[in-house]
């Protein structure tokens, strides 16, 4: 008799469980994803901010006074570190998912380099370190927030002649590779050893740190050299750019303009190669002047790099407003999309001009971001030429007003950056399962973080008559379990550097 009671109890339990399961299905607040008919659309977008360190534009605002004693220096060091973490955290809060951290601005470094001396903005003593590694701290902070971080360097700029530097600085030790133009010093890109040095610098940075990419801006040949005949004519009290001997030696039948342009092409090629050799899934990009004609005046032509396959993305600095007589924003944006059909374009945005005569209202930025998102499609409806924005500069976007405007207009929904560059998909997709009101997954080899998305139904239909679901970003972090705030369908991507996996399987989670 006991056996029969036990059997009936077991059958009753199974019946109750099955009934509860059916009730759960009936009570679903969101329809379950149909793996046979439905599809998922993930809206990726690169949202970056330049964190400028030259002349302490954004950071560091506090200099460590080593000469004033250990106690004072220790306090200032902690403040410097705290400020850097705070800036990156505020960039994240503004809706951005990437930071371009300026680590070499005037042939000096914000990390312990075997090639360059420490940046003088850090301490009161040229060439002396701050007692910690700012780049390592920045990488750790950005990745802990699920953000990408790219090292940003000025490749050829050495700085003013009277810039504070030690007598054993590399620019003095290799003076034969340096040119003076006006009151500033530059590495001469016509010198093969300069290009070698830049390759070594890129290798050092990318090998030493877990960076998502390396990025250079528009400091190529000094402005004003091109279009002045066989040699640039100096302005008053300005030394001529004297590369006649180099041109005779290395010109190989080119005109002076062609040769100088090829030197910049070679710098881009060498740095791109160094980045990918050090980290295959990292990316290398350039931020040229906003109009093609302006960057060509510096002997830099992005069309060459696109043809040669030596850039993974471009960030033209389109810092003008709609209605500008020479450089209307929309016209300039469309010109880049046509110039670089196969290269991802991130638009450099002029946050620093907010409330100026040209940008009196925030609505100008809202329109610009809208037009970035509507830029011409490429070979399918979900792949765009323009993949996001990058804001100049950090202190402009992290004000309460600017951040609030961003979050209330175009960055209402968070996003992660798309795959771009030559690396492709770096890691495998995770397998996910439900654990109560949590999504759980196992560790994916090589992944450095994971991004969780909740699916929302759209009005779009698939060819099979199913629903196209939009993946809404929830969070990105290093762990393997996520507590769901809402019931619904979830997916997870594993990420490595600047790349992410294909999506996981879809699971439904019911939150009580």
What are the CB-based long-range contacts (under 8 Å, 24+) for 112-121? Answer: 113/201, 113/204, 114/204, 115/170, 115/197, 115/200, 115/201, 115/204, 116/170, 116/201, 117/165, 117/166, 117/169, 117/170, 119/53, 120/163, 120/164, 120/165, 121/53, 121/55, 121/56, 121/60, 121/63
> Residue 282, exposed/middle/buried by CB under 10 A (0-12, 13-18, 19+)?
buried
DSSP string, 247-263: HHHH-TT--HHHHHHHH
Whole-angstrom CA distances from 389 to 150, 154, 265, 350 are 14, 20, 25, 10
Q: Which of 19-33, 303-317, 424-438 is the least confident region?
A: 19-33
- Provide mean pLDDT across the span 145-157: 95
pLDDT for 148: 93
Strand partners, 455: 471
Question: Taking Cα atoms as reference points, which of 81, 201, 204, 70 lies closest to residue 132?
Answer: 81
pLDDT for 423: 55
User: Distance between CA 229 and CA 134 in Å, rounded?
Assistant: 45
- Label residue 227 by pLDDT band (50, 70, 90): low
- Label residue 146 by pLDDT band (50, 70, 90): confident
Answer whether the bond into residue 455 is a cis peptide, omega within 30°: no
Kindly state the tokens that stand for 16: 């109750």
Residue 170 has pLDDT above 50, yes or no: yes
pLDDT in tens, 281-329: 899 999 999 999 999 999 999 999 999 999 999 999 999 999 999 999 9
Residue 167 has pLDDT above 80, yes or no: yes
pLDDT for 232: 47
Across the chain, mean pLDDT equals 90
Residue 504 has pLDDT above 90, yes or no: yes
Whole-angstrom CA distances from 20 to 10, 15, 502 are 15, 8, 34
DSSP string, 280-307: TT-EEEE--BSSHHHHHTTT--HHHHHH
Whole-angstrom CA distances from 425 to 420, 421, 428, 471, 499 are 9, 10, 8, 19, 6
User: Distance between CA 255 and CA 248 in Å, rounded?
Assistant: 10
Q: Which of 50-64, 229-243, 441-455 is the least confident region?
A: 229-243
pLDDT for 3: 43
Question: Roughly what angle, to the nearest 10 degrees, separates helices 256-278 and 192-208?
Answer: 20
- Label residue 496 by pLDDT band (50, 70, 90): confident
pLDDT in tens, 375-403: 765 544 444 688 999 999 999 999 999 99
User: Distance between CA 310 and CA 148 in Å, rounded?
Assistant: 21
Work out whether strand 488-496 and strand 499-500 pair parallel, antiparallel, or are unpaired: antiparallel
User: Distance between CA 339 and CA 316 in Å, rounded?
Assistant: 12
Residue 230 has pLDDT above 50, yes or no: no
What are the CB-based long-range contacts (under 8 Å, 24+) for 192-200? Answer: 192/250, 194/156, 194/267, 195/263, 195/266, 195/267, 195/270, 196/270, 197/115, 198/155, 198/267, 198/270, 198/271, 199/270, 199/271, 199/273, 199/274, 200/115, 200/274
- Label residue 430 by pLDDT band (50, 70, 90): very high
Host H or E run for residue 366: helix 363-373
Question: Taking Cα atoms as reference points, which of 303, 381, 380 lies closest to residue 345?
Answer: 303
Residue 109 has pLDDT above 50, yes or no: yes
Running DSSP on this structure, what letter comes out for residue 337?
H
pLDDT for 17: 39
User: Distance between CA 126 and CA 118 in Å, rounded?
Assistant: 7
- Label residue 231 by pLDDT band (50, 70, 90): very low
pLDDT for 476: 86
Domains of the chain from N-terminus onward: 46-408 (3.20.20.80), 425-509 (2.60.40.10)
pLDDT in tens, 329-378: 999 998 887 777 778 999 999 999 999 999 999 999 999 999 999 876 55
Kindly state the tokens that stand for 46: 């690169």
- Label residue 234 by pLDDT band (50, 70, 90): low
pLDDT for 10: 41
Q: Which of 2-11, 264-273, 318-327, 380-389 is the least confident region?
A: 2-11
pLDDT in tens, 68-91: 999 999 999 999 999 999 999 999
User: Distance between CA 37 and CA 337 in Å, rounded?
Assistant: 34
pLDDT for 164: 87
pLDDT for 225: 87
Q: Which of 98-107, 223-232, 342-351, 380-389 is the least confident region?
A: 223-232
pLDDT for 385: 80
Q: What is the largest CA-CA distance in the chain?
A: 111
Q: How far is CA 18 from the centre of its chain?
A: 50
**Sheet with 184-187, side-by-side order of all strands:** 157-160, 184-187, 178-181
- What's the per-residue H, E or C state across 161-206? CCCCCCCCCHHHHCHHHEEEECCEEEECCCCHHHHHHHHHHHHHHH
pLDDT for 420: 83
User: Distance between CA 462 and CA 507 in Å, rounded?
Assistant: 19
pLDDT for 27: 60
């Amino acid at each position: 008799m006991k056996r029969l009671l036990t059997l009936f109890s077991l059958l009753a339990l199974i019946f109750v469980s099955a009934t509860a399961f059916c009730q759960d299905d009936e009570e679903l607040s969101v329809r379950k994803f149909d793996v046979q008919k439905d599809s998922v659309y993930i809206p990726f977008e690169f949202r970056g901010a330049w964190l400028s360190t030259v002349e302490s534009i954004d950071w560091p605002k506090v200099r460590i006074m080593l000469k004033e004693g250990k106690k004072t220096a220790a306090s200032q060091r902690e403040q410097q570190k705290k400020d850097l973490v705070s800036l990156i955290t505020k960039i994240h809060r503004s809706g951005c998912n990437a930071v371009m951290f300026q680590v070499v601005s005037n042939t000096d470094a914000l990390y312990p380099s075997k090639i360059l001396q420490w940046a003088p903005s850090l301490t009161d003593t040229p060439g002396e370190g701050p007692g910690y590694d700012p780049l390592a701290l920045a990488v750790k902070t950005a990745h802990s927030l699920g953000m990408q971080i790219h090292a940003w360097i000025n490749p050829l700029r050495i700085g003013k002649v009277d810039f504070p530097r030690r007598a054993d600085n590399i620019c003095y030790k290799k003076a034969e590779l340096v040119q003076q133009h006006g009151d500033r010093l530059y590495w001469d890109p016509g010198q093969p050893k300069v290009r070698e040095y830049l390759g070594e610098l890129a290798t050092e940075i990318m090998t030493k740190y877990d960076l998502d990419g390396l990025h250079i801006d528009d400091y190529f040949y000094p402005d004003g050299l091109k279009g002045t005949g066989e040699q640039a004519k100096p302005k008053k009290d300005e030394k001529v750019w004297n590369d006649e001997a180099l041109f005779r030696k290395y010109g190989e039948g080119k005109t002076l303009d062609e040769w100088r342009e090829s030197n910049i092409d070679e710098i881009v090629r060498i740095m791109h190669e160094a980045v990918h050799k050090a980290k295959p899934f990292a990316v290398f990009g350039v931020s040229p002047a906003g109009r093609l004609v302006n960057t060509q005046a510096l002997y830099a032509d992005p069309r060459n790099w696109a043809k040669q396959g030596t850039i993974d993305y471009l960030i033209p600095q389109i810092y003008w407003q709609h209605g500008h007589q020479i450089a209307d924003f929309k016209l300039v944006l469309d010109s880049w999309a046509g110039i670089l059909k196969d290269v991802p374009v991130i638009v450099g945005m002029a946050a620093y001009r907010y409330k100026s005569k040209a940008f009196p209202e925030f609505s100008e930025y809202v329109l610009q971001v809208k037009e970035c998102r509507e830029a011409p499609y490429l070979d399918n409806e979900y792949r765009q030429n323009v993949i996001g924005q990058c804001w100049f500069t950090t202190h402009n976007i992290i004000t309460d007003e600017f951040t609030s405007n961003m979050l209330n207009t175009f960055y209402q929904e968070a996003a992660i950056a798309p795959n771009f560059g030559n690396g492709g998909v770096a890691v495998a997709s995770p397998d996910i399962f439900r654990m109560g009101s949590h999504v759980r997954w196992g560790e994916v080899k090589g992944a450095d973080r994971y991004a969780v998305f909740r699916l929302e139904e759209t009005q779009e239909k698939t060819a099979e008559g199913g629903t196209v679901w939009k993946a809404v970003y929830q969070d990105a972090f290093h762990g393997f379990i996520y507590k769901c705030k809402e019931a619904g369908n979830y997916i997870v991507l594993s990420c490595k550097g600047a790349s992410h996996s294909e999506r996981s399987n879809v699971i439904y989670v019911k939150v009580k």
